[in-house]
């Protein structure tokens, strides 16, 4: 198996270099194809040096997830001192899907990782709850700004859950439904933004509908029509 030399800046702490290198190798080659020896070799350090910082690969994965959830928590903050704008909604979605791509190995085999590490399972449950609350706040902020119609609390929570389900399931959908799914790229992944916006269409205020529909077209899934053509056939 080819091992890529992705060592990061030389002045970076060894622990941080291990995290960065592991993330890149896991993304490129698949976590199950990468051992701690491969990580150490890519870094040019001894396995013993790696084990000084992390007991095993499970600990490395847990630390990578900790970095990921901090990143997403940062993405989903409301702006201070101003109302939300249409650009904000697309910026949120772009950032979230960028994060999915940057940490894609986690989402390719998430159920396996959660079952393998009770710490990760508990952390992911808390992460999901925080994200759902953040999505609720963003949707409520879009309603405050007059972009979306006001929803009941039940509608708001249901919409937030549907957004979460689309975002977290889109990679799995691409992998399992497309003949060319093994050629996953960031652009294909971001087609999920189109689906998230579709969920909101019934709640758009009329004066924003054309603006958001036009912005949505940039994320139209390339294979959408062909998929339904095959389904009809």
- Tens of pLDDT along the chain (233 residues) come to 333 334 445 557 999 999 999 999 999 999 999 999 999 999 999 999 999 999 999 999 999 999 999 999 999 999 999 999 999 999 999 999 999 999 999 998 899 999 999 999 999 999 999 999 999 999 999 999 999 999 999 999 999 999 999 999 999 888 888 755 456 889 999 999 999 999 999 999 999 999 999 999 999 987 665 566 555 55
CATH of the domain at 20: 1.10.10.60
Give the number of domains in the chain: 2
For residues 76 and 138, is the Cβ–Cβ distance under 8 A? yes
In the listed set 36, 53, 70, which residue is the last one of a domain according to the structure? 53
Same domain, 21 and 65: no
The per-residue pLDDT for 227 is 63
- CA 99, chain centre distance (Å): 5
Q: What share of the chain is helix, strand, coil (3-state, %, to 5)?
A: 75, 0, 25
Whether 70 and 35 share a structural domain: no
**What does the pLDDT read at residue 2?**
36
- State whether residue 190 is helix, strand or coil: coil
Do 27 and 81 fall within a single domain? Answer: no
Statement to judge: residues 194 and 128 lie in one domain: yes
pLDDT of residue 107: 92
Name beta bridge partners: 204: 148
- Do 142 and 148 form a contact (C-beta atoms < 8 A)? yes
Examine the domain organization and report whether 82 and 186 are in the same domain. Answer: yes
Q: Do 30 and 118 belong to one domain?
A: no
Radius of gyration for the chain, computed over Cα atoms and rounded to the nearest angstrom: 20
pLDDT of residue 134: 98
174 and 209 together in one domain: yes
- Whichever domain contains 172, its CATH number is 1.10.357.10
The residue range of the domain holding 41 is 14-53
Using CA atoms, how far apart are residues 167 and 158, in angstroms rounded to an integer?
Answer: 14
Report the sign of the C-alpha dihedral through residues 161, 126, 141, 218, in that order: negative
Please indicate, yes or no, if residue 9 is contained in any of the structural domains. Answer: no
Instruction: Give the pLDDT confidence score for residue 222 in this predicted structure.
Output: 77
Structural domain includes residue 122: yes
Q: Indicate the residue among 6, 30, 53 that finishes a domain.
A: 53
Q: Are residues 41 and 103 in the same domain?
A: no
Write down the pTM of the prediction: 0.88
Distance CA 86, CA 23 (A): 33
> Are 178 and 206 members of one domain?
yes
User: Does 163 map to a domain?
Assistant: yes
Residue among 159, 166, 168 at smallest CA distance from 135: 159
Give yes or no: residues 148 and 37 share one domain: no
* 159 plus 97 within the same structural domain: yes
User: In terms of domains, do 107 and 48 share one?
Assistant: no
């Amino acid at each position: 198996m080819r091992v890529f030399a992705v060592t990061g800046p030389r002045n970076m702490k060894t622990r941080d270099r291990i995290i960065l290198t592991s993330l890149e190798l896991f993304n490129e080659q698949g976590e199950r194809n990468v051992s701690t020896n491969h990580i150490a070799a890519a870094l040019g350090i001894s396995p013993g040096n790696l084990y000084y910082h992390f007991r095993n690969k499970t600990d490395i994965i847990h630390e990578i997830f900790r970095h990921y959830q901090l990143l997403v928590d940062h993405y989903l903050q409301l702006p201070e001192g101003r109302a939300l704008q249409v650009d904000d909604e697309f910026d949120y979605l772009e950032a979230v899907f960028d994060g999915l791509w940057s940490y894609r190995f986690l989402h390719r085999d998430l159920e396996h990782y959660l079952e393998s590490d009770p710490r990760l399972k508990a952390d992911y449950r808390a992460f999901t709850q925080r994200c759902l609350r953040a999505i609720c706040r963003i949707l409520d902020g879009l309603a405050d700004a007059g972009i979306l119609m006001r929803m009941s609390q039940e509608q708001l929570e249901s919409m937030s859950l549907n957004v979460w389900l689309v975002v977290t399931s889109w990679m799995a959908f691409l992998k399992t439904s497309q003949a060319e799914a093994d050629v996953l790229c960031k652009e294909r992944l971001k087609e999920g933004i189109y689906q998230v916006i579709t969920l909101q269409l019934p709640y758009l205020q009329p004066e924003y509908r054309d603006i958001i529909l036009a912005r949505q077209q940039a994320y139209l899934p390339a294979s959408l029509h062909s998929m339904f053509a095959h389904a009809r056939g």
